[in-house]
Structure 1
Amino acid sequence: MADLVCVNSDVVERIRASARGMGIDSCWVAATHTHSGPEAGCSPGGAPSPPELSERLESAAMRATSAALADERDATLHTSRVRISDLASRRHLPELRAIDIPVDVLVVSSEGQVAGMIVISPVHPTVLPYDNHSASADLSGGIRRALRTPTRWVVAATGPAGDISTRHTRRGRDEHEIDRLGALVADRLRGRVLPADAPGSMTLIPPVSASVRLAAKQPAEAVIPGDGGVTSGRSLSVLEQGRRIARDLMARDHSHPYEIEVQVLALGAVTLVAVPGELFLELGERIRAGAAAPGIDVVVLGYANGYLGYLPSRDTPTSYETLVSPVAKGSGELVVAAAIDAAAELMNRRRGDDRI
């Protein structure tokens, strides 16, 4: 997990190659999507990663992998989910409309204790302002600090956060507000993150991959008449930024489809889904529902194993997210269908191996 706005596919493959040299057959590389990290070469459709950053990421990933292998022990994995009503909301709306944000936790238990956890928040970690110049993990760092203890490690990841942010719920734009929101998540998780009742199977079924071809955005989708019904100054500024990015995209004349890979793997009784882009929350929930099975929990991770950009749904109203996306509306539904199909194949492998 990298505190970057994205990880492009070139650096993902570089890290995977180094991991294979350590005897690791498969690994995922994901970004927290903080907007306050080093420049990662992110743009709609992905771009080459800066060479120096790639080297640093590869080195850091191998150090972390070596440390994890050295600390390897028997463990059990289970999930927990809480809904938080005052953490974030749909950011493209002009005002706050309350929404319960589902935060998933992968709980790792060892010797009757919680050894660590991976917290997946479907929220843009963008509390700090756009003109911030300090390196920061932003909200992801706040969540880590609030939950970590001397005996428990914490990884903060970002889920299907394409249309979700703290724009309407944050009370400030500084480190104090980051820590307040991190403490809010920790408080709601209190009493819900408990060690497993009994040892369970931690059998890993390797990833099932699904390739998805997505149509490039057409010129008509890069235009929004007037102000689009937006009235506030900040929202108008964001909309104009989206227009500029859309015009740049159209100038590239990228008419052939984009191709991405969605991966699904099984770890114990958990199905993990990795999407290389910014999926909207509702679509992430559709994957959960469509991939569900008795005794199996489903967790969706965004910004993983590459970066395409926003993956808008068919009914998404024209907004910053649809303007800057390189792909046509309805791409989100295609990704959902691919993820559900891959999860079905994974379930067949579970049954074939007598693992459910």
Structure 2
Amino acid sequence: MKVGAAVVEITPPLGLEMDGYGARVGGATGVHDPLRARALVAEGPDGTGVALVVADLVGIEPRLQEQIADQVLRSTGIPRERLQLAGTHTHSGPAFHTPSDAERATGAAIADAIAEAWAGRRDAPAAVGVGTVDGIAANRRPNGGPVDQRVTVTRFDDVDDKPIATLVNYGCHPTTLGPNNNLYSADFPGVVCAQLEAAVGGVAIFSTGPQGDVNPGGYSPEGSMVGVVVPWRTFESADRYGRAIAAVAATVRETLEPTPSERVWGDSRIVELRRKPLAKADVAREAATAAASAADVVRTADLSADATYHAITAAAYADLIAAQAEDPDRDRPVAVRISALAFGPLLHLGVGGELFVAHGQRIRAALGDDQTCVAALCDGSVGYLPTADAYEIGGYEPNASLHVAGEGERLADAMIDLGARAPAV
């Protein structure tokens, strides 16, 4: 197996709309730390090539995926089905909801990272190991629900023991920074990569694991939805989280003994999920308008902070449901891309959505906990992919989800089936 890795900066111009929070006011006003795209490629003895790129974006939109995939095919010959295009899911990056020069430049840079990694590929033994980190991720749906503290680390060195890359997978929303932040930042995944590159060398890549129901500290997503400021959601906290994960990853990496492998494989498919039934678009929008008017009345009245919060939250939910009802695809199934790439001993699965932790744990258990990891926000996002139990609990994620209860389990089954098709190590 030959492996290559590369990193490029993708920080866009200031002034752009930022992604992740509807409650954020204004565009980007500065740069706290650069946004980057990090690529990992492998080539097997038979010439099969696979590529993973993770960019400091909420996710990679379908239009941008198409641009990148076309450029990668021309520069490397790697086809779309063996290409994973993931976002870290930082909520402190740009929003690319419509075509723009900034979006096109970002896509070109991401594709260039893959081409650079491919051009620099060389023989590379590899090894996978797992550590744990506490005190970062907490489940918010429900509070005290499952958390996967595992940090999966894959070490790629060349035949002279020089580091090529370190791939780290850990599941937690990279949303330390809240809607009151208007500075571009990679959040804690950027800190993880910077720390590892300084300590180990080579290129560090952070792959965000199943994170749909977990975030740093377990703060309320409804609070973020309406702009509540949480005092500890700071750059200092992001730095602390990133350093903690990087320290675990560096320790695990040091214990690993890379061995040669010939397994390079990849495949992907589209899974169609049953969409939730929705009200008529005009009815849903009328309800949202009424809820917004009610929230305005409550804001101006001398009511408790709790009453105001609930009125604003209700209006935000009504607007969310109205937007779903107005979606031109509302009567079509929810199409989710799933993928699997084998980088020697590691099986790296991807899903185009915000997978809940329990789904990820079940997938890993079925395919081999210590040699498998799952990346959320990989090849776009259809939104939250909750467990059936979460629909009974209610709250932001199941309300925002597009599919009916039980479809998340069916999607996890499809991912297990796809991963099981990988050749043996």
Question: What is the CA-CA distance between 1:203 and the residue it aligns to?
Answer: 2.8
Question: What is the CA-CA distance between 1:105 and the residue it aligns to?
Answer: 1.8
CA distance in 2, matches of 1:100, 1:264: 20
1:78 partner amino acid: A
1:323 partner amino acid: N
Moved more, 242-251 or 310-319: 242-251
CA distance in 1, matches of 2:384, 2:314: 15
**Residue 14 (1) aligns with residue 67 (2):** yes
> What is the RMSD of the two structures over their aligned residues, measured on CA atoms?
2.8
Post-superposition Cα deviations, 1:190-246, rounded to whole Å, max 9, x if no partner, equal 4211275253214312x22232111111249x99xxxxxxx9789856676344312
Equivalent residue, structure 2, for 1:297 = 371
Equivalent residue, structure 2, for 1:45 = none
| Corresponding residue to 2:208 among 133, 158, 162 | 158
> What's the TM-score once normalised by structure 1's chain length?
0.83
Q: 1:25 to 1:243 in 2, by over 3 A?
A: same
Equivalent residue, structure 2, for 1:142 = 191
SS at match of 1:162: coil
Question: What is the CA-CA distance between 1:336 and the residue it aligns to?
Answer: 0.4
Moved more, 329-338 or 142-151: 142-151
Question: What is the CA-CA distance between 1:250 and the residue it aligns to?
Answer: 2.5
SS at match of 1:148: helix
CA distance in 2, matches of 1:332, 1:161: 14
SS at match of 1:154: strand
Question: What is the CA-CA distance between 1:132 and the residue it aligns to?
Answer: 1.1
Equivalent residue, structure 1, for 2:175 = 126
CA contact (8 A) 2:387 2:409 kept: yes
**Residue 311 (1) aligns with residue 385 (2):** yes
> Where in structure 1 are there 5+ consecutive unaligned residues?
42-48, 224-230
Equivalent residue, structure 2, for 1:217 = 276
CA contact (8 A) 2:129 2:256 kept: no
2:253 partner amino acid: V
Question: What is the CA-CA distance between 1:174 and the residue it aligns to?
Answer: 2.0
CA distance in 1, matches of 2:412, 2:89: 21
Question: What is the CA-CA distance between 1:142 and the residue it aligns to?
Answer: 2.0
1:329 partner amino acid: A
CA distance in 2, matches of 1:232, 1:101: 33
SS at match of 2:88: coil
Question: What is the CA-CA distance between 1:98 and the residue it aligns to?
Answer: 8.6
Equivalent residue, structure 1, for 2:91 = 35
Equivalent residue, structure 1, for 2:128 = 79
CA distance in 2, matches of 1:61, 1:312: 30
Q: 1:251 to 1:51 in 2, by over 3 A?
A: same
CA distance in 1, matches of 2:388, 2:142: 17
SS at match of 1:161: coil
CA distance in 2, matches of 1:6, 1:22: 23
| Corresponding residue to 2:413 among 324, 327, 337 | 337
Equivalent residue, structure 1, for 2:254 = 194
1:38 partner amino acid: P
Question: What is the CA-CA distance between 1:103 and the residue it aligns to?
Answer: 2.0
User: What is the percentage of aligned positions where both structures have the same residue?
Assistant: 26
**Residue 204 (1) aligns with residue 260 (2):** no
CA contact (8 A) 1:242 1:321 kept: no
Q: 1:188 to 1:56 in 2, by over 3 A?
A: same
> Where in structure 2 are there 5+ consecutive unaligned residues?
1-53, 220-229, 288-304
CA distance in 2, matches of 1:36, 1:167: 18
Q: 1:322 to 1:240 in 2, by over 3 A?
A: farther
Aligned pairs (5 A) from 1:29-108: 29-41=85-97, 49-93=98-142, 99=147, 101-108=149-156
Question: What is the CA-CA distance between 1:180 and the residue it aligns to?
Answer: 0.9
Post-superposition Cα deviations, 1:137-191, rounded to whole Å, max 9, x if no partner, equal 1121122222221723211221111001014489722221111111111233342
Greater helix fraction, Structure 1 or Structure 2: 2
Post-superposition Cα deviations, 1:105-137, rounded to whole Å, max 9, x if no partner, equal 222122224432121221100011112111111
CA contact (8 A) 1:84 1:100 kept: no
> What's the TM-score once normalised by structure 2's chain length?
0.70
Aligned length: 330
Moved more, 167-176 or 107-116: 167-176
**Residue 2 (1) aligns with residue 61 (2):** no
Equivalent residue, structure 1, for 2:332 = 256
